[in-house]
Amino acid sequence: MVAGFGNNAASYFADGAAVDLTPFFDSAAWGLGDMADDFRSDLLSFNTLPTGELVAFPHQTSAQVLAYNQTLLTELGFDAPPADLAAFREQACAAAAYTGANGEDVQGFPITTDPSLFESFVSSQGGQIFDGEAYLFDSEIVTTVFQLYADLYAEGCGYIPAERFAEQADFARGLNPFFATSTAGFTFVVQGFVDSGYVADWSVTTFPHAEGTETLQVFIPSIILVGGTPEEQVASWLFLKSLVSAEAGALWSSSTGYFSASRAGAASLTDAAAFGAPQIFPYFEAASAKLNDATVAIYSGPSIAAQNAVRGFISEAIAAVTSNGVAVEEAVATLQAQATEALAGS
Confirm whether 260 is domain-assigned: no
Q: Do 161 and 26 share a structural domain?
A: no
Q: Residue 108 sits in a domain of what CATH number?
A: 3.40.190.10
Q: The whole model's pTM is what?
A: 0.92
Q: Percentage of residues in the chain with pLDDT exceeding 70?
A: 100
The pLDDT, as a whole number, for residue 103 is 82
Q: Do 169 and 71 share a structural domain?
A: yes
The pLDDT, as a whole number, for residue 71 is 97
What is the pLDDT averaged over residues 236-244? 95
Chosen domain end from 228, 244, 260: 244
What is the pLDDT averaged over residues 221-247? 94
Confirm whether 254 is domain-assigned: no
Q: Cα(339)–Cα(314) distance, rounded to whole angstroms?
A: 9
Q: Do 206 and 87 share a structural domain?
A: yes
Q: Do 340 and 199 share a structural domain?
A: yes
The pLDDT, as a whole number, for residue 227 is 83
Confirm whether 271 is domain-assigned: no
Confirm whether 172 is domain-assigned: yes
Nearest CA among 329, 317, 295, 298 for reference residue 118 = 317
- b/e per residue 83-111 (b: at least 16 CB within 10 A): eebeebbbbbbbbbebeeeeeeebbbbbb
Q: How many domains does the chain have?
A: 2
Span 46-72, pLDDT tens digits: 999 989 999 999 999 999 999 999 999
Q: Percentage of residues in the chain with pLDDT exceeding 90?
A: 92
Q: Cα(96)–Cα(177) distance, rounded to whole angstroms?
A: 9
Confirm whether 258 is domain-assigned: no
Span 180-230, pLDDT tens digits: 999 999 999 999 999 999 999 999 999 999 999 999 999 999 999 998 899
Residue 101 has pLDDT above 90, yes or no: no
Confidence band for 270, pLDDT divided at 50, 70 and 90: confident
Q: Do 167 and 67 share a structural domain?
A: yes
Confirm whether 270 is domain-assigned: no
Q: Do 145 and 231 share a structural domain?
A: no
Per the structure, the complete domain to which residue 27 belongs is given by 2-58+220-244
Q: Do 109 and 20 share a structural domain?
A: no
Nearest CA among 223, 251, 193 for reference residue 24 = 223
Q: Do 211 and 143 share a structural domain?
A: yes
Q: Do 167 and 112 share a structural domain?
A: yes
Confirm whether 282 is domain-assigned: no
Confirm whether 34 is domain-assigned: yes
Q: Do 150 and 53 share a structural domain?
A: no
Q: How far is CA 108 from CA 89, 159, 160, 251, in A?
A: 9, 7, 10, 38
H helices present in the chain, as ranges: 6-14, 22-26, 70-75, 85-96, 115-124, 140-154, 166-171, 186-196, 230-243, 246-256, 263-267, 281-291, 307-321, 328-344
Q: Do 314 and 225 share a structural domain?
A: no
pLDDT mean across residues, the chain: 95
Confidence band for 156, pLDDT divided at 50, 70 and 90: very high
The pLDDT, as a whole number, for residue 104 is 84
Pick from 152-161, 226-235, 325-334: least confident: 226-235
CA atoms within 13 A of residue 308's CA, in its CB half-sphere? 12
The pLDDT, as a whole number, for residue 277 is 86
The pLDDT, as a whole number, for residue 276 is 84
Q: Do 209 and 187 share a structural domain?
A: yes
